[in-house]
Structures are given as C-alpha cells and as structure tokens.
A = this chain, B = another copy of it.
C-alpha cells in the first residue's frame, strides 16, 4: 500500500448512488465477478487473489461503495455457494473460511478510504 498521502480526486458523477439503474447493475456485476474470483483463488493462488483485491478496491473506491455493500456481496455469494454445496451433498463448513477473505478485502477497502482523507491544512484551527 504505497499511496499514503495521495489524495484521489473522485468524480461524484461516478458514485454508485448517482448511477442509473442499468449502470448500477453493470457495476455490481463487475464487483461480484471480481469478488467471486478473489474468494475462489484466495487460498489457492494468493497472488492472483491479491491482484483482484486491488482491482475490486479501486473500483469500489471510485464508486464510493461502502463496507455494507461489500458485506452484501459476500453474503449473496456465500448463499449461492451454500446452495451448490447442498446440491452436491457437501458440508458448508468451508464457507466459514471465506470470512477471512472478506476481512482481508474489507481491510484493504477501509485503508483506501482512510488514506484518502486529506491531511488537515495548517489553516485549520
């Protein structure tokens, strides 16, 4: 994370809440696709997962996506996985491990936001 002190100029027109319905759906679909890849590669291929985490975090940041939306993404994916595992007659226990993946992605997103708060200017009281 080498972007300490950099203040990104985000375009509020690109914020999720300003997007049209079809644009929102397209964005969420990209985020969901990335998050699914992250989850599937997380323990098998950490390098791939890390690159995708950076991608997802940047995408989320510029759209001002919050932790709650990331959590929803996670829950939706876990539900899908649970159904799949049930169909295959396998235990859902593995899904607990993916909480670690969520914690990692959320930590990265949180750091992105924390480091984007501009330093107080000397004129501040």
Q: Interface residues, chain A, CB within 8 Å of chain B?
A: 9-12, 64, 66-68, 70-71, 96, 99-100, 102-103, 106-111, 113-114, 116-120, 124-125
Contact = CB atoms under 8 A, between A and B. Distances in A.
Contacts of A108: 67
A11 B119 CA distance: 10
B113 A114 contact: yes
10 contacts: A12-B120, A66-B114, A67-B114, A68-B107, A71-B103, A99-B100, A103-B106, A106-B107, A110-B113, A117-B117
A39 to B, nearest CB: 14
A29 to B, nearest CB: 22
Contacts of A118: 118
A122 to B, nearest CB: 11
Copies in the complex: 2
B10 A111 contact: no
Contacts of A109: 110
Contacts of A107: 67-68, 70-71, 106
A106 B10 contact: no
A25 to B, nearest CB: 22
A68 B68 CA distance: 19
